[in-house]
A and B are shown apart, each in its own frame.
Chain A
Amino acid sequence: MTVKERGAATAVRRGKRRIAAATAAITLAAAAGVFALVGTMQSDAEADTAAGSTGTTSSSSPSPSASSNTSSTSDSSTSSSSSSSSSSTSSSSSSPDLQSSSSGVTSSSGGSTDSTSGAS
């Protein structure tokens, strides 16, 4: 191999190293972004949970969307979100709000009872 060829090979190797370094930097930045995003989502989620579970349970517990204030209680929760994969956490396709019936309920029309509904 001539001196010229050796120089070219060295340049190629140098270039590869630079590309590898740049790739690693980009990967790290992306990962940091993902973790930051996951962290944000999780803290929101925990705030929701905390809001829904504070001492006086309920009475004034607002609808799910309204209960995200600040609190930053750190709890257990998310297990797999840190395991890199981009899998979706939740799933439920439809609206998270409970839906009322279009026809509602009416007074009984009288006559025979079709069914009963109670604890079981």
Chain B
Amino acid sequence: MSTRTSTAPPRTTAAADWRALGTSVRLVVTDPALLDSCNLLLARHLAEVDAACSRFRTDSELAALDASLGRPITVSPLLAEALAVALRAAEATDGTVDPTVGSAMNAIGYDRDFTLVQEDDRPIRLTVKRAPGWRTIDLDRTTGTVTVPAGVRLDLGATAKAWAADKAAAMLAQVAGCGVLVSLGGDTAVAGEPPAGGWNIRVQDVTGSVDEVPTHGTYATIGLRSGGLATSGTAARRWRRGGYELHHIVDPRTGLPVRSPWRTVSVAAATSADANAASTACLVKGAGAERWLTRLGLPARLVAQDGTVVTTPGWPTHQATTHGTAA
């Protein structure tokens, strides 16, 4: 874990970077004195999320659902909430972001922590198989029970990180009484009073250090005062297996990595969870996704495979579009 304090009056923030949930974690607060306390609370929160939602831990609640064989299972309020967010994302995106792609993920070799996936050389066989569909999941929030049909494997990877960032940012801002930014692998949520001028967030193909300007692809820095921002793309979390070039964004209609005209999609919304659902859905929806975003009133920046940048109304447009530089 590393911390850094930047003081450029009147803007004072402190940040911590570390890793959890198989991805990067960045916490920024506007009161540097509260950074360590907030970071501890964030670590505890993410540990709880991991214990509830991890697809790779045999002792997680999610893993227990795999063994439920279609019986109703009472789950923790945390997992129930995560499932509700995933099902809502599926409904809001016409099923393009579907939590029942767990088996498809396993089939393409993403059945363990990603660092291990890259080292795995077991052969795989790619077959088109539609995901069971989010409507097969029965979640009753009043009783806290969930029924997953036998054989259906859930993957909350598309929504859980963004939702966890939303919860963490809101909780920390309330407890600490300062501005808070939580980024989990680029799924960003902000809460509380932002720093002067808002939070500066650089959107780029792959999440990275704030100190390292991307040398490839385009990027843009925007200001965010509330809500969330998320970026989905196929440039990260890629691996090769049996001659196939694979990535982790699966099309629920085929069970295979999506072939999208978009390389990277960034969306701002009321929450990081909504932003993430929209950005991931765009990759699956493909051509015309920008019109879908426009209808929803979501500011977004879409980068085509050839680097062309398209923005929707509400996204700052004064920046130039150039490869390798700010765009």
Interface residues of A (CB under 8 A from B): 45, 48-49, 51-53, 56-64, 67, 75-81, 87-94, 96-120
Contact = CB atoms under 8 A, between A and B. Distances in A.
B207 A120 contact: yes
Contact of B183 (A76, A91, A102, A115): A115
Contacts of A51: 94
A-side binding surface: helix, strand, loop or mixed? loop
A99 B269 contact: yes
B290 to A, nearest CB: 9
Contacts of A102: 226-227, 270
Interface string B128-154: 000011011011111101010100000
B236 A49 contact: no
A52 to B, nearest CB: 3
Interface in B217-257: 221-237, 253
Contact of A120 (B24, B195, B199, B224): B24
A55 B34 CA distance: 52
B197 interface: yes
B285 A59 contact: yes
A84 to B, nearest CB: 12
Contact of B287 (A49, A52, A59, A114): A59
Interface in B1-44: 6, 8, 11, 13, 15, 23-24, 26, 28
A47 B326 CA distance: 43
B210 interface: yes
29 contacts: A45-B135, A57-B286, A58-B96, A58-B289, A61-B292, A63-B295, A64-B91, A76-B132, A79-B70, A80-B138, A90-B87, A96-B91, A100-B299, A101-B224, A105-B223, A107-B316, A112-B11, A113-B201, A113-B202, A113-B210, A114-B15, A114-B201, A115-B181, A116-B183, A116-B203, A117-B202, A119-B186, A119-B205, A119-B231
